[in-house]
Amino acid sequence: MLLRTRVFTLALASLGLVASACGGGEEVSASGFTTLPVTTDEMGSTSAASESTGGAVSVTVTTPTSGVTEGGNVCGDGAVGDGEECDDGNADDTDDCLSTCVAAKCGDGAVLAGTEECDDGNKEDTDDCLGTCVVAKCGDGAVLAGMEECDDGNKEDTDACLSTCVAATCGDGSVQVDVEECDDGNKDDSDACVGVCKAAACGDGLIEVGVEACDDGNMIDDDACGNTCALASCGDKIVQAPEECDDGNMDDTDACSAMCINAKCGDGFIQMGVETCDDKLETKTCDSDCSAPMCGDKLLNKAAGETCDDGGDSLACDKDCTPAMCGDKVVNMAAGETCDDGNMLNTDACVTGCKTAKCGDSFVQAGVEECDDGNMVDNDACSNTCKSQACPQAVFVSTWNGWKYYKVPVVGQMTDNNVRAACEACGLKAPCQSVDACAYNDNICTQTGNEVSCGNPMLGLAQFTCNGQSPPGCPALNGVFQYMGNKWLGACGAQNGQWCVQGNTANNQNGLCVALKP
C-alpha cells in the first residue's frame, strides 16, 4: 500500500498548552489546535511527533486505508459504523462488501465471486453482460448486439427465432409453425419439400423425383400430364389426344379397345353384343359389317362365294346370290323368268328366255304341239291351238328373223330332191344352205339370209334355237336334213349326234323347210 500523509488536528487545550509556531510543518490553528504532519505506512499505522517551545507532544494514530466515513468512522476497520452498509475489514471488491463499505450488488461494476458471472456496471441487456450480471448467451431472451439476430429465450426451433439465435428462414432445416409446411434445409425443388418450404404436391409445377412422372402446374386432366401427375397413357381412364376413348381396361371386346380406340367393325376384335365376327376384312366366315355371311342380307361377300346379293330376286341377281341368268335352274321372277329348267331346249315346257312354253311362242313343245308359228292367225298352216292344218305332219322348229322353220317328214332316201318335194307338198320351201356365194346353193332353194357359214348346214339355226348349240346338240334338229343344191352326197343331216350325215345313206327322216316370210 502506498504511503500517504494525512494531517490530523489534535485538541491540546486540556493540557493547558498554548500553541506556537513549530518547525517541521506544524501549524497552530486559531482554535488552539495544533495540526501535525502524520506519516502513514503501508500497514495503516500513523505516527506524529513534534516539539513545541512549550513542550513536546507525541501522537500515534491508526487509520484505515479507505479513509474515514461520515461520523468519523473508518471504512475497513472491520466495524460497521454510521454511514457504512458493511465493513468486512478488507479491500476485496469480489466479496459481499466492497472496499467502499457498500454492500455488493449487481450493477456496481464489481464481480461478486460465486454469485455473479459478470458486472459491467450497467443495466444494458444488449452487451456481453446482462443487467442480471449473467454473461450474455443465446437463449437468455436478450439479443446480443452484433452477435445475435434474435433471442426469444427458448430452444424451440419451430418459432420465428431458432435455438441458435438466428432468425428463422426457409431453408434453415427447421419447420416454422404456421409459416412453413416443411423445411428440409435445401433449395431443391425436386424433393418432398420445395424451395419455398411448401410440401411438394401434384399441381405445383415441380416434378417430385421418384413420386411424380410429370407436373404441369394445372388441374386439367385431359392434357399430357394428368391431375395425379402421371403421364397420360392409354388405360388411365382419362381421354387425352390422340385417344378416342379410355375406359381404364385392356379389354378388346368392349366399346373401347386396349389401344384406346373406339371399337368398330374391321378392327379385328369382336365387340360383344354388337358384332358376331370381325376378321378385319371380308372373309368366307365374316361379312364386311361384322355379321355372319348370309345370302339375302344385301351384303356382297365374294369370299363366301356370292357374286351378288340384292336381298332376294332382282333383275340382276338371283335369290341364291348368283347373277340372274336363264338356264341356271333358279326361277327369278324379278328378272322376268317364269321357269328355268337349266337347259337351252325350246321343245320342252320351258323355252328360251326362261318363259313357260305356250302356243304362239314360236317353239313347238314336243308331245304337246304339232306346230307353233308364233302368231294368232288361225287360217294359216298352224292353228291358234298349235295344230297343223295345211300340212299336219309339219312340225314347227323356230321363227328366226321373221322366217318360220319347220321339219317335214320325207318318205324314202334323204336326197335333195326328196327334201325339196316334201317341203313344197306342205306349201313350204327348201331354204338355201348359206348366203348367195355358197357353193351348195342353187336357183331352186329359198334364200333367208340367216345362215352365213357355207359348208356348215343348219349351224346358225341350231345356235339360235338351242342357245348356242351345234346341230347334233340341238334336239329340235335331230333327224333333220338340209337341202344342199344337189352338190353333195344328198341332203346334210343331224342324226343321233352325227353331223353331216349323208342323205344318200339315210331314209325316212325329216327335211328342213321354211315358210315364206310375210
Top-confidence residue, 504 or 40 = 504
Instruction: Say how many Å lie between the first and final Cα of the chain, rounded.
Output: 184
Q: Between 28 and 367, where is the model more confident?
A: 367
Residues with Cβ within 8 Å of 395's Cβ and at least 6 positions away in sequence, in order, are 364, 370, 371, 388, 406, 407, 408, 510
Bridge partners of 400?
Answer: 403
pLDDT at position 33 over 50? no
pLDDT tens readout for residues 423-447: 998 889 999 999 999 999 999 999 9
Please state, in angstroms and rounded to a whole number, the distance separating the CA atoms of residues 66 and 236: 96
Identify the pLDDT of residue 385. Answer: 87
SS3 465: helix
> Cell 321343245 identifies what position?
347
Residue 357 has pLDDT above 90, yes or no: yes
Residue with cell 485538541: 11
Q: How many CB atoms lie within 10 A of CB 237?
A: 10
Residues of the chain above pLDDT 70, percent: 85
Measured distance CA(22)–CA(56) in Å, rounded: 10
Kindly report, residue by residue over 327-339, the tens digit of the pLDDT.
999 999 999 999 9
Phi, psi of 83 (to 5 degrees): 85, -5
Q: How confident is the model at residue 382 (pLDDT cuts 50, 70, 90)?
A: confident
What is the rounded radius of gyration, in angstroms, for the C-alpha atoms of the chain? Answer: 76
Q: Which pLDDT score is estimated for 71? A: 55
Q: Is 131 exposed, middle or buried (0-12, 13-18, 19+ CB in 10 A)?
A: middle
User: In angstroms, rounded to a whole number, what is the distance separating the alpha carbons of residues 28 and 53?
Assistant: 12
pLDDT at 15 over 50: no
Predicted pLDDT at 362: 86
**Confidence class of residue 518 from pLDDT cuts 50, 70 and 90?**
low
Cα separation of 173 and 178, whole Å? 15
Mean pLDDT on 24-45: 38
pLDDT in tens, 58-77: 333 333 444 454 556 799 99
Cα separation of 416 and 333, whole Å?
46
The rounded distance, in Å, linking the Cα atoms of 431 and 457 is 10
Of 512, 515, 513, 511, the residue nearest 412 (C-alpha): 511
Highest mean pLDDT pick, 50-64, 117-131, 479-493 = 479-493
- Own/partner contacts of 104-111, CB < 8 Å, gap of 24 or more, are 106/131, 106/132, 106/133, 107/131, 107/133
